[in-house]
Structure 1
Amino acid sequence: MTTSNNDAPAYRRLGRSGLHVFPLGLGSMQFGWSADEEASQSVMDAYYAAGGNFIDTADIYTNWTGSNAGGVSEEMIGRWMKARGNRADMVIATKVRGPMGERGSEGRKSMHQREGLSRRWIIQACEDSLRRLQTDHIDLYQAHWVDAQTPIEETLSALTELVKRGYVRYIGCSNFSAWRLMQALWTSDKRNLESFVSIQPEYSLLTPTRANFERELMPVCVEYGVGVIPWSPLGGGLLTGKYRRGAPLPESVRADENSAQRFSDRNFDVVETLSKIAGQRQAAGEQVLTAQVALAWMLAQPAMTAPIIGANSVAQLQELLGGVTLRLSSEELAEISTVSDWERARTELER
């Protein structure tokens, strides 16, 4: 059994791009929401000190809080990089697609076409993100989700234009289905346009999330060299072990996001298996947590580049960073894969 937790983490190439990133990306969805400016700056400092170089954000973060019009997370990251003078060390990823703008008098978004993946909005949104981030380029610019009203040719053409202008280094997508990703890759190839180097799907050990990615998207990513930078690798916190079968929910602004489907007996079987493996490592004298075991399993999967984690505090971040250097044995990986196997789950349901 390989038990070393002290190996220096190797940076991973993002798909077929020239970007090399820390094995865990730092998500910033919590900045300006569950983490204020001071806490967010401290988390970024700790991540950078640990060797982290990959921060993921989006223009809409965090416009679901109060009268926030979006862009708050990008602004915090921009102020942090300017104060630290470390822009050249960082790989900054942001996204475009969602609605931006102040809330109207009736509490509804005033869109004014300030959303989508059209040429008009992509170019304007990119320029706005550059200003908020206080930088002259974005390393990875991602389509946040599909815009069914805009042809993929128009979207890719606009993103290609941003690369030609030097505003963007590489492009990626988030929340695309396998056929949408293939459509985009085919269009890029046939039209000689920039191609997505990465995808950001929801992916974790939970049912049905694992199946949703592995059934079709994973084979596409492996075959075409698309980097995978999944969001919610800890299943909204369930895979940290802080939620227990039959126990009341802990105090958390995100606890209610976990649906009844997520709190299933099958998923708690997964959590308990992760906790058992962590406990066995602890008994052997290692400092291993349940969340670290979940992240170590994911980092061992095909096409995986860097799961994106979120943290509200330095202590929370440091707990998760241990997953980078944790090496699970083949037996441990197999046990986790078996208990979370979606093919077996489907067979059981069909009986």
Structure 2
Amino acid sequence: MSKNGMVSKANAFIESSYTINLVAQRVIILAIIEARNQGSMSEVGGIHRIKASDYQKHFECDKTTSYRSLKSACESLYESEFVWSDKDNKGRDKINHSRFVQRASYSEGGAYVEVMFGNDVIPLITRLSEKYTEYELKQIKDLNSIYALRIFEILMQWFSIGKTPPITLETLRARLGIGDDQYKLMSDFKKRVLDHAIKEINDNTNISATYEQHKEGRRISGFTFKFKVKAESKKVTDSKRDGDTPDMLTNLKMTDKQRGVFADKLSKMKELSDYAKQGEDYKQFAERIECELLDEEKQVFYFPYLQKLGFNQNLYIKKVAG
């Protein structure tokens, strides 16, 4: 396996709902890296081989454990599905049920597994649009909880601003693959899932994370995650920062008319639907966003969405100045 250890996934994949074990998730990650290195990512029917020695090296376990882990991963991957959403040709939400792999094989004597990704998975890990998330394999190698790994990927989706939008409890449970019969009590969910996952992330990755809970009345309705890069990792991260990413306190330059136009578009984005207040219609939501775009802290939150809508800071500075 190549030394190129970058993992790239479409945001739709990260936001999908599925239930697989930690080892199966690791095998998907190794297969993504291996497929990219082979240059055969977009081939339908392409077979990607993961050696037990690769698993052993990257996740620092003994040989016996790596063999056993790969075999269990094959079974989990073949039996599991993931649920993801996109739009139909009329812009309506569409929910899809797909399989991770068309085939998963394990060689007892060869100490390797081979996976053939399902047709729906291939575009989500290959033909990446601007809506994708990337992180280094070494950052997740010491995470031993599937929930910690899934939450880490959610955080990486919002890496440029250090904070997720509010995520409803139902959405978060679905993304973590938690069934209706699991962790029914909020105290159990927080202690055994969230608190444990956040501790693992803080102890074993390059970021420090916390979460805030949101309530509707007395009921906890959702969570927001905040995080920052640890001091020892900041130099590396800053050196790789996208030149188009603004400084955290950049003041967006817009006229009142431009602000109104973008606020209207933002209010209709599916990704921001959880951020709308209960009972708020599109017009009211747009008016609130328009006001919030005057606040520098709120600008940081909205900037990734503005980019998706075609906002270019340098271009708009020129328009305002001109």
Greater RCO between the two (CA within 8 Å, min separation 6)? 1
Q: TM-score, normalised by structure 2?
A: 0.28
Q: TM-score, normalised by structure 1?
A: 0.26
